[in-house]
Structure formats: structure tokens, C-alpha cells
Chains A and B, each alone.
Chain A
Amino acid sequence: MKDNNIPLGGGKTPGLGKWKLQKDLFTAFCRVGLLGFGGGPAAIPIFHQEVVRNYKWMDEDEFGDTLALANTMPGPIATKLAGYIGYKVGGKLGCLNAILACVLPTSLMMIVLIGILQKYKDISWVKNMSASVVPVVAVMLGILSWDFIKKSGDTLGWKKALTMLVAAGLLMEALNIHPAIIIVVVLIFIFFPIRRRGKKA
């Protein structure tokens, strides 16, 4: 069974323990934010390290369940995990604290670096510098595309995956339909029972 020793909304813990907990939350998620290269999904092992092994806020099973659920929800995975775990062990303050620790340091670095690049962008060699980064990003996106395509093929079967790829591609490029509409339609399709019964997935 699930470990219920951890009080939900630990804000009730009196005195020093409360601040110690908030300090721990901040340290843990700051480390997660600063050590995870390759975006949120790459930081999952570091989350596991801090949350399960280091601070023991969750056991293996509970962390696994939380991760599985976070994956079924939209949006960035890192902030969902940090926010939820922060809320669970430290209440509303813990939630805010965990998110800030995870997001703020790298956001600030990002703003500073982009600012520097923008300031000097009219100098010819700086201009060429940022132009030379475009093909690298194209390759990175190409690799990411292939990851998504391969995973689609593995989980849906290639026939279904390719059909969906082509269909979505045509809808977006030829008919200029916003991707949001296609995603919402697929969501409706998943949860619309009548349609489902006739068509075995």
C-alpha cells in the first residue's frame, strides 16, 4: 500500500521543521533544475534521486504512479512533478517554492544570454554566429522528430502511426488547420464512447 506517513500539506508542521522542509524543497528542486540538461524529461532521473533516495518524500511506487499520471497530462513534465511533490510535502508554500526553485535560475540565465546576443546582433560576426546555430537547431529538431515518430510507431504500430502522421500533416499544411483543433478532436475521439465501440483500437 501507499505510504501515508507524509502529511498532505505539511504546512501544519510547527516551528523550525517547517522552514527546514521548505529549505530542503528549494535545494532539491534547484538541483533538479540546474542539473537536467535536455529539458524536463531528461531531469526525471534527478527527480527520482532527490525525491525518493535523498529526501525520501515518496517511495518507489508512489513516485512511479506520480510520474505515470504526470505523463498523461499536458504541459511540461518538470514543473508538474516539482509542483505536485512540493504541494504534497509542503502545502501551497511548498508548491510555489518548488516551482520557483526549478524554474527561476535557468530562466534568468536565459534572459541574460538572449539579451547579450540581441544587443550585439548588428555586428557582422555576431550575426553570422547566430545564423550558424540555425542548422544545429534544425538537426536537434530532426532528431527530436525522429524520436517522436519512432515512439509513435512502437506504441501504435507503424501502419496506424504513419496514417496519423500523414493525416495530421495534410490537415495542417494543406488545409491550414491549427494544431490545437486537431489535438482537441483527437482527445474528444478518445473519450467519445460510441465511436470507439464500432472501431476496435
Chain B
Amino acid sequence: MIYWQLFLAFFISGMLGYGGGPATIPLVENEVVGTYGWMDTQEFSEVVAIGNSLPGPIATKMAASIGYSEGGILGAFVAIFATVAPSLFLMIGLMAVLMKYKDHPKVKSITKLIRPIIAILLVFMTVQFVETSVEGVGILFTGIIALASYLMLQKWNWHPAFVIMIALAFGAVTGIEW
């Protein structure tokens, strides 16, 4: 049962995420936190944070860790398979046909028209993460960490892994019970 649910969750996210792995993040969240309640926002943010600080495709990293925590090794394989296989089969199978129509305006407009939907999903998710953060570390720390990480990521172009590590260190130090 859990394997079937894992398959469905990652199959749906994989098949609807136009725009690569990052586009599947809000869809995965929708299934994992919303539909099945396997994780709360806090736990899911750990997955995204660690996923973002490690190299490699983000979608399969999410699938691996969520699949593993819900269904062990087999769960991880089911989730990765559901993420990777359908779109890959589609691509290999349709490559010949697609080559012919790749310049067709309709084919070109798929990603363009799906993008705003993913964008608004990402906005909702951002808001939800801010709310969770205010509940977790309070409004002051949320503001400080958010501002600092924005500057590091956008203004100074620091590596995400580095920024996450600083946040972890900051949290560890401020969380010690003296």
C-alpha cells in the first residue's frame, strides 16, 4: 500500500513538473505534506535544505530520502523509479516523433504556459515556509536569518551549501541550553 502511494505521489509530481526538477518541488510538497501527510513542513524543509546543499538532481534526491523514510530501501527505489522512469520512457519513445515537431508552436508553448502555475505554487510554498519558520524560531530570528541568507545567496552569490551550513551552525549555537 505504502509503495503504491509512493509510486503515485512521485509519478504525479514527475509527470506534471514542466521545467525540470525544481518545478517538481511544490508538486512533491503538495503530495507529501498535503495529500499523504508523511511529513510536516518543518521536516520537508530539512529535505529541501539538505537536497539543495548536495550536488545532483533535486527531484531524485527528494524521492530517495522521502521514499526511504516512508518505505525503506524498497520505498526509495519505488520513489526514484516513479520520478525517473515515466518521463524517460516518454522521451525515448517519442523522440522520433518529437524531433519532427519540436519547432511547432504548440509544443514550444507547453513549458511557457505551465510555468506560471508552478510559479504560483512556489509562492504558496514560500509563504507556508515563512509561517512554519515563525512558529519555529520566532518572527525576529526568521527575519534575521531570511535577510542574511538573501544577501548571501543573491547579493554575494555564495554557494547554497555554505549558506545552509551557516544557518545550521547559527541554529546550533543559539539553541544550546546554557
- A residues at B contact (CB < 8 Å): 33-41, 43, 65, 68-80, 83-84, 87, 95, 99, 102-103, 105-111, 113-114, 117-118, 124-145, 148-149, 151-152, 155-156, 161, 164-165, 168-169, 172-173, 178-180, 182-184, 186-187, 189-191, 201
Contact = CB atoms under 8 A, between A and B. Distances in A.
A132 B168 contact: yes
Nearest to B68: A111
Given A103-B80, A125-B172, A134 B137 contact: yes
Given A80-B88, A140-B160, A164 B116 contact: yes
B98 A69 contact: yes
A69 B91 contact: yes
B64 A77 contact: no
User: From DSSP, what is the main secondary structure of chain B's interface residues?
Assistant: helix
B57 A33 contact: yes
A155 B51 CA distance: 29
Nearest to B115: A152
A76 B20 contact: yes
Given A70-B91, A74-B15, A102 B42 contact: no
B65 to A, nearest CB: 5
A142 B68 CA distance: 28
Contacts of A68: 102
B33 interface: no
A4 B173 CA distance: 60
Given A40-B57, A107-B64, A132 B170 contact: yes
Interface string B91-118: 1101100110010011111111111111
A11 to B, nearest CB: 15
B87 A76 contact: yes
